[in-house]
Chains A and B, each alone.
Chain A
Amino acid sequence: MSNKLRLCAALTSLGFAFYAAQDASAAGRNATGEDKDIRDRVAQLHAAQDAGAVRVDIVGQLKEALGLTAETDVAQVKTADWLQTFNQQFRDRGTTG
């Protein structure tokens, strides 16, 4: 697996940047997930992250909201922290409606 990761999707306003190795599909999947269990699809993504073939950085306002000082892989964020931060950020930008 190559360690050289390339930016392949930057969703700056949402706070995510996706990096992947050229051969990320070896650790992930190489086709769309039609009719596959969502848990398998997500597990493939996580496996690719664990293998170092994919990295998801938190960027922009979301990074500030989470209080991150350096580029941090989203895998290091806990679900509860994510929801709390999301809800707080939503309160700062909008609210439940």
Chain B
Amino acid sequence: MNTSVVEVFRGQLKLLVVQPTPFCNIDCTYCYLAGRQKTHRLSRETLRRAVQNLAADNLIGNELEICWHLGEPLSVGRAYYEDMIPALEEVVAGRTKLSHTFQTNGTLIDEAWCGFFKSIDAQVGVSLDGPKDLHDRRRVTRRGEGTFDRSLAGFRLLREAGIRRYIIAVLSMEALRDPDRIFDFFVGIGDTNVCFNIEESEGIHTSRIVDTDKACDLARRFFTRLLERLQADTSGIWVRELQQMLGLLMTSRQGACRNDNNEPFRVISVAHDGSWTTFSPELISTAAPAYGDFRFGNLGTEPISHSLGRSRFAAVEREIRSGVDRCRAECSYFNFCGGGAPSNKIAELGTLAGTETMACRTMVKSLADGCMDFIEAAVLAPRSGVAGSGAR
């Protein structure tokens, strides 16, 4: 692969995931990132060169979202971003509209951070796993102390300041068993957009969900129950997975959805040393015996087109495509998924050419089944004493 091949993807880059530091001030038991005790920082010059090199390959279009992630982004301090963000604006020189997202554990958010987020119209994702006992079981400091109070306080500051925000909640088996408690908790926070992930194997983490059949059964009921609760909800709570899957179910007769995890250069992740990967962002921190690591070059030193010929990119891309082709041929849920995620396949199956993972079963199949269970019961089943009204 060379410049002409990268040219096929002209303007396709939508999300640049940037690791300002691998360091994290807490130590969640399910984290997929290696080296999160290391305090390295991505330098201003390396990031400038990275964006210049992406531009040199014409991968950047009119808009680009930058997600500061892959470590605790607030641990580097506000001054870091007050230096970095103008440097980025200088590089794109008005040709590309940049937007910024911070994925944080929320523990370091204070009023000054809120002021900064407001000043750049950033949106902020806070990791919060639900009620205190569930959150504090997994999201702990290096001394094993829970972080719930600090994370929730951070989220509330964002809310008071009117910062665009959302919550990422990792669901354990305990959480899946009690959808009403989870729903009530997030409704109680108020004005909430929630994204659910079920604990999965990625990077250096192996999921502790050992009974996949049980997890799937619980997940299916969990999502159905959330939809039932949403019927009567007036809080405005929004659940990413439910909205996306309902839309895909409704439109699936037109074909399969597109999955950015399986296409190169829609998402590019840059580590603190300038090395880069594409496909799933989690691959930046992944290595596997059959592949080595998944860092295909260094954007701090050269454009992607220069490094592709020397890297394993072509072989990796071929294997990912092979896996997606098998998913298309074998899986009845393909239209709602687009072929799974390479990060899950490598962590669970040891190969990118594989097909079904636990993540497929819990977050695609059980989700789709749970949504259809709801639709069939609420819409298609014979109605006696049906909720709702309004003949039209």
| A interface residue numbers (CB < 8 A to B) | 4-16, 18-20, 22, 24-25, 28-33, 37-39, 41-46, 48, 54, 56, 62, 74-75, 77-80, 82-83, 86-87, 89-97
Considering only residues 242-279 of chain B, those with a C-beta below 8 Å from chain A are: 242-244, 246-258, 267
Main secondary structure of the interface of B (DSSP, over half): mixed
The answer to whether A9 and B380 touch (CB under 8 A), given A79-B248, A96-B67, is: no
Contacts of A24 in B (CB 8 A): 379-380
Out of B125, B227, B256, B335, name the residue touching A97 (CB < 8 Å). Answer: B125
B123 interface contact, C-beta 8 A? yes
Which of chain A's residues have a CB closer than 8 A to the CB of B236?
A: 12-13
Q: Verify if B108 is at the interface (C-beta below 8 Å from A).
A: no
Q: Provide a sorted-by-A list of 25 A–B residue pairs whose CB atoms are within 8 angstroms.
A: A6-B392, A7-B390, A8-B378, A11-B227, A11-B242, A11-B246, A13-B233, A13-B238, A14-B230, A32-B376, A33-B373, A37-B332, A38-B332, A42-B253, A82-B251, A83-B248, A86-B244, A92-B164, A93-B166, A93-B193, A93-B238, A94-B195, A94-B240, A95-B101, A95-B125
The residue that B388 contacts in the complex, of A7, A29, A90, A93, with Cβ under 8 A, is A7
B35 to chain A, nearest CB (A): 20
Q: Which residues of A contact B101 (CB under 8 A)?
A: 95
Q: Which residue from A7, A79, A93 sits with its C-beta under 8 Å from B252?
A: A79
Contact of A29 with B164 in the complex, beta carbons under 8 Å: no
A96 to B197, CA, bound (A): 11
Q: Are B392 and A19 in contact (CB under 8 A)?
A: yes
B102 to chain A, nearest CB (A): 9
